[in-house]
Amino acid sequence: MKTFLKSGLRRILVPGLCLFAAGFLWSGSAGAQSVVDAAKKEGKVVIYGSLESGIMDELEKAFTRKYGIGIDYFRAASNKTLDRVLTEHRADRTLSDVVVTNRGPMLLLKQDKIFARYVSPESVNFPEDVRDPDGLLSPIYRMVIVGILYNTKLVKPEDAPKSLDDLLTPKWRGKWVMPDPSRHFTTGVWVRNLEVFYGKDWLEFAKKMAASRPILVESFIPSVQKVISGEALAGITYVKYVYIFGKEGAPLDYVRLPRMLADGHNAGITAKAPHPNAAKLFVDFLISREGMEIMAKEGEFVTAKGLYPPIKDAEKIQAVPMDELDQHEYKKWSAEFRKLFVVR
């Protein structure tokens, strides 16, 4: 029997990119003056997370220009971000002020009492069902959609896979890439959530995936990099990389699957943040309309109404929020996926 963490996401098909945004009107602006003044005295904010460095660069430019406060950013895959935050917490040497990563790791960190309570004034602009009832996490501000990307120089559109099942045919055996679901937290959750599409046969499908000999990598960025380089013809990774790497000339497109699994992202302020006011100010800015506009422009699927990434047909994507695994369930399936995908 599967055990899911309470995700705060409705288990429904989410049409288009107005992901949770009925009645999503913006009021107010990031940063009450008292917080701004205290944050400026602290001088900087230290952030750990999996938000792509290029996107954080754009957020930092706007944040620093607005408030004169710098950002120190450590970026890693969600599982490595999780490990680093936990290691520092257990050693009582917290160096980060803010954590921004996938919802699963954030919920695990929340269970370990990593975060301080902070309800940003910007939270009122989000529907209740994406807000954290305990006030320990920000509202879900973006969704990362997992799909199939392929190399357009090596694969003609008519020859690209049309479904996940297509990847399992002999034609694609050993020619596609995915993060190792036994090591990469989000991919493990993604594989487990295939039950949404395959029902009770989801595990049989996972076994077939493993049998088709995918190239296994550490996380979603190495996955898309393998596709770009031609080491793999196609791969499981984030749809947003079509834009993020495509604007640099990468030959990428994504398969228009009828539905795709998506993972929510939150931000949280660490309970022992060295720069707590700068942390509050950054979270305010991140989930403000200005922050949402920056992220959408950079290819993110944000939860703000009417904002779309510059990706063809983005508004047509049907995103299905993933349920998150609790710690026990993730460990269980991580071990099972290792047997399937790694130990052959």
Full DSSP string of 21-46: -TT----S-S--HHHHHHHHHH-EEE
Q: Quick check: 197 and 260 in contact, CB under 8 A? A: no
**Cross-strand partners of 283:** none
Confidence check: pLDDT of 27 > 60: no
Segment 110-158, tens digit of pLDDT:
999 999 999 999 999 888 888 999 999 999 999 999 999 999 999 999 9
Q: Which helix (H) or strand (E) segment is 263 a member of? A: strand 260-269
Locate 25 and state its tokens: 């009107």
Which pLDDT value is given to residue 7?
45
What would the pLDDT profile of 40-97 be if each residue is shown by its tens digit?
A: 999 999 999 999 899 999 999 999 999 999 999 999 988 899 999 999 999 999 999 9
Sequence-ordered alpha helix ranges (H) in 92-215 = 103-111, 185-192, 195-198, 202-211
pLDDT digits (tens, 9 = 90+) for 194-228: 999 999 999 999 999 999 999 999 999 999 999 99
Residue-level length of the chain: 344
The Cα–Cα gap between 223 and 43 comes to 37
Q: How many CB atoms lie within 10 A of CB 334?
A: 19
Task: Report pLDDT for 31.
Answer: 60
pLDDT value at 10 more than 80: no
pLDDT of residue 21: 41
Mean pLDDT over the full length of the chain:
90
Q: How far apart are CA 155 and CA 286, in angstroms?
A: 38
Cβ contact 299:240 at 8 Å: yes
Strands 142-151 vs 260-269: parallel, antiparallel or unpaired = antiparallel
The pLDDT assigned to 26 comes to 52
pLDDT band, residue 30 (cuts 50/70/90)? low
Least confident of 143-152, 205-214, 277-286, 297-306: 297-306
Q: Any bridge partners for residue 268, and if so which?
A: 99
Q: Predicted confidence band at 32 (pLDDT cuts at 50, 70, 90)?
A: confident
Region for 308 from its dihedrals, namely left if φ exceeds 0, alpha if ψ lies in -120 to 50, beta otherwise: beta
- In three-state secondary structure terms, 27 is coil
Cα dist from 39 to 33, 36, 70, 80, 266, whole Å: 10, 5, 10, 28, 21
- pTM score, two decimals? 0.82
Q: What are the CA-CA distances from residue 213 to residues 180, 194, 229, 249, 342 (Å)? A: 12, 18, 19, 29, 10
Identify the sign of the CA torsion 47, 53, 54, 55.
Answer: negative
Residue 344: pLDDT band with limits 50, 70, 90: low
Structure token pair of residue 24: 């999503």
